[in-house]
Amino acid sequence: MKKRLLISGGGTAGHVWPLISLYENIKDEYDVLFVGSGNERELVEKAGIKYKKILSGKWRRYFSWLNFIDPIKVLFGFIQAKYLMITFRPQVVFTKGGYVTVPVGIAAALFRRRLIIHESDAVMGLSNRILSRFAKKILTAYPKENYPKKYQRKIVWTGVPVRAEIFTGDYNKAIDDFDFSKELPTVLFIGGSSGAAGINKLVLESLEELLSFCQIIHITGKKNYHKVREAATLLDTVKRSRFRYFDFVTRELPDIFAVSDLAVSRSGATTLTELAALGRPTIFIPYPFSASDHQRINAQILERNQAAVVYDEKELTSVKLVDQIKRLLDNKRALKDLSENIKKFYKSNAVELIIAEIKEG
């Protein structure tokens, strides 16, 4: 008879993809139930995982009347989580961050279930900070010395799992699909699943000059897609042939990564880990309003280890960006060093290390 594992995380794809990767590698040994807040249901069920929704609240760092309502939702979510502990009876509970994990983790502690939490950023998120006192282990994306001492006794550096399909990119297929030249380097601009207004603005301001020496793939996000499309119509024929833009990509992403010589990106955990796994030289422009400034801290760890170039969005101009991209593309040694160094922050056995912790005890 299989053991039972309850996994939980939600709010962003960054919390969900590593859990799906974990499921794919543990489903033969464990009966797995995913507990979420509803936003991730389609993604999770598409992966074949049993799913249950519970209520969850969000504590906003600004005044909102919802801050008075959401604690009630958390209470009801806790009651629902307790019910799942009784009916599903997991031996282990593994949470990945997101507000939905708080009632799940507290219920696990109440029923004396082994609780393991995972943190993908260099700064512990609020949910994980709350659950850290109940957790048997805290699994992290970075070595333990990057986290406060009070957590280090429980920390195990496992890294972050990535989707297997990320490694299936085909350079030649991408060249054919995008009708690109092999003689020109390709730069990828990517701002995460929702796009990045600051990066999009820099692209539009730099587009004409960049396309004079490289090809560009730009993942815009839905909000800014129409602005980029309008800008593309103003390009001459040659430059337009060097520019490809999408509001959102899924199946195409591995090929896009494969054809990119350099990436310009936000430094959220999922995208950062995928770029590290593939050894992509990257210029990170952290989102300036991320919770606890975690994107900046993620990127700075890489920068200190010569594994990335990092710019503060407020200080970066299109002139600086174009100059930096040109200098990197002209310096193959620098690109190679960045590639080799960023790869050191990816643990190829992350899933195996996490499963070993789940099986312990």
pLDDT, tens digit, 9 for 90 and up, residues 210-240: 999 999 999 998 888 999 999 999 999 999 9
pLDDT recorded at residue 54: 95
User: Is the model more confident about 17 or about 112?
Assistant: 112
pLDDT recorded at residue 63: 57
pLDDT recorded at residue 230: 94
CA distance 76 to 83: 11
Residues 91 and 225 in one domain: no
Percentage of the chain beyond pLDDT 90 is 83
Query: What SS3 state is found at 124?
Result: coil
Where residue 38 falls (left for φ over 0; alpha for ψ -120 to 50; beta otherwise) is: left
State the angle between helix axes of 269-278 and 332-343 in degrees (0 to 180), rounded to the nearest 10.
120
The stretch 245-274 carries a mean pLDDT of: 94
pLDDT recorded at residue 361: 58
pLDDT band at 72 (very low <50, low <70, confident <90, very high): confident
Task: With a cut of 80, say whether residue 202 has pLDDT above it.
Answer: yes
Residues 179 and 152 in one domain: no
Residues 129 and 10 in one domain: yes
On average, the pLDDT of the chain sits at: 93
State the angle between helix axes of 318-329 and 332-343 in degrees (0 to 180), rounded to the nearest 10.
90
Residues 6+ apart with CB under 8 A from 262: 185, 186, 187, 188, 280, 281, 282, 283, 325, 328, 329, 335
Residues 39 and 67 in one domain: yes
Residues 21 and 127 in one domain: yes
pLDDT recorded at residue 93: 98
Rg of the chain over Cα atoms, rounded to whole angstroms, equals 21
Residues 152 and 189 in one domain: no
Task: With a cut of 90, say whether residue 250 has pLDDT above it.
Answer: no
pLDDT band at 318 (very low <50, low <70, confident <90, very high): very high
Question: How far is C-alpha 330 from the chain's CA centre?
Answer: 29
Residues 142 and 45 in one domain: yes
The stretch 323-350 carries a mean pLDDT of: 97
Task: With a cut of 90, say whether residue 12 has pLDDT above it.
Answer: no
Residues 264 and 202 in one domain: yes
Q: How many domains does the chain have?
A: 2
Domain extent for 177 = 165-343
CATH value at residue 48: 3.40.50.2000
Residue type, position 137, single letter: K
pLDDT recorded at residue 74: 78
Residues 178 and 157 in one domain: no
Residues 80 and 122 in one domain: yes
The stretch 59-69 carries a mean pLDDT of: 57
pLDDT recorded at residue 265: 97
pLDDT band at 248 (very low <50, low <70, confident <90, very high): confident
Using alpha carbons only, give the angle 21, 295, 357 rounded to the nearest 5 degrees: 35
- Given a contact cutoff of 8 angstroms between Cβ atoms, the answer to whether 235 and 243 are in contact is yes
Q: What are phi and psi of 174, to 5 degrees?
A: -65, -45
Residues 115-150: tens digit of each pLDDT: 999 999 999 999 999 999 999 999 999 999 999 999
pLDDT recorded at residue 67: 59
Residues 127-136: tens digit of each pLDDT: 999 999 999 9
Residues 146 and 198 in one domain: no
Residues 195 and 127 in one domain: no
User: Is the model more confident about 59 or about 265?
Assistant: 265
CA distance 179 to 181: 7
- Given a contact cutoff of 8 angstroms between Cβ atoms, the answer to whether 210 and 187 are in contact is yes
Percentage of the chain beyond pLDDT 70 is 94
pLDDT recorded at residue 59: 61
Task: With a cut of 80, say whether residue 87 has pLDDT above it.
Answer: yes
Reference 16, options 44, 46, 35, 42; nearest CA is 44
